[in-house]
A and B are shown apart, each in its own frame.
Chain A
Amino acid sequence: AQSVTQPDIHITVSEGASLELRCNYSYGATPYLFWYVQSPGQGLQLLLKYFSGDTLVQGIKGFEAEFKRSQSSFNLRKPSVHWSDAAEYFCAVSSRQAGTALIFGKGTTLSVSS
């Protein structure tokens, strides 16, 4: 069965430092891949997505993610974190087949220290 693993439950990063959030997936074929962010008390917002082509994808708010097929990974990065980036981040995968749904990881909570 397909699954998504986010190995880090909680990460603390200093403001201005770089960030990498890890995501590994288990899937029979190359899935669609997503990163969502949820700020406290807010709904989920799509940061970026990968379907095909260039394995480095750019998203909103200065985030990027790299798809590595050999490692079944889709890690999220940001070169310089801002205090407003403190939130919970979810990696998700979906089959390319119609009529299926997103499967989410358990999330990584990001704290930003000053």
Chain B
Amino acid sequence: DVKVTQSSRYLVKRTGEKVFLECVQDMDHENMFWYRQDPGLGLRLIYFSYDVKMKEKGDIPEGYSVSREKKERFSLILESASTNQTSMYLCASSGDGALSGYTFGSGTRLTVV
């Protein structure tokens, strides 16, 4: 069964910490995405990547960066975590743009205290 795996299901971090959220896919997909999900706001795109070492800003990139050194791994980095970054973070991948739809990971619920 194909998968998008997010390394942590729950994380608690302190304000000011540098936080790494990891996402790995085993489908050889070119495209990978990071969204955050908040009640009443739906899913908002943070960053995406359509190739190794390539990245594009989404709608809310401020306070975040990403890294894609290998095709299967896409990391989201919170440079200095703040309480307003407390959220559910969802990673997704797709092989041919949107044509086949996205495969989502189970999410990481991050709490910044």
A residues contacting B by CB (< 8 A) are 6, 9, 32, 34, 42-46, 49, 51, 90, 94, 98-107
Residue B16 is within 8 A (CB to CB) of chain A in the complex: no
Chain B residues contacting A44 (CB-CB under 8 Å) are 43, 90, 92, 102, 104
| Contacts A42-B106, A43-B105, A44-B104; A103 near B45 (Cβ below 8 A) | yes
B residues contacting A by CB (< 8 A) are 33, 35, 40-45, 48, 50, 56, 58, 90, 92, 97-99, 101-102, 104-107
Which of these, A45, A51, A99, A105, contacts B42 with CB under 8 Å?
A105
Shortest distance between the CB of A47 and any CB in chain B (Å):
9
- Which residue in chain A gives the minimum CB-CB distance to B6? A43
- Which residue in chain B gives the minimum CB-CB distance to A103? B45
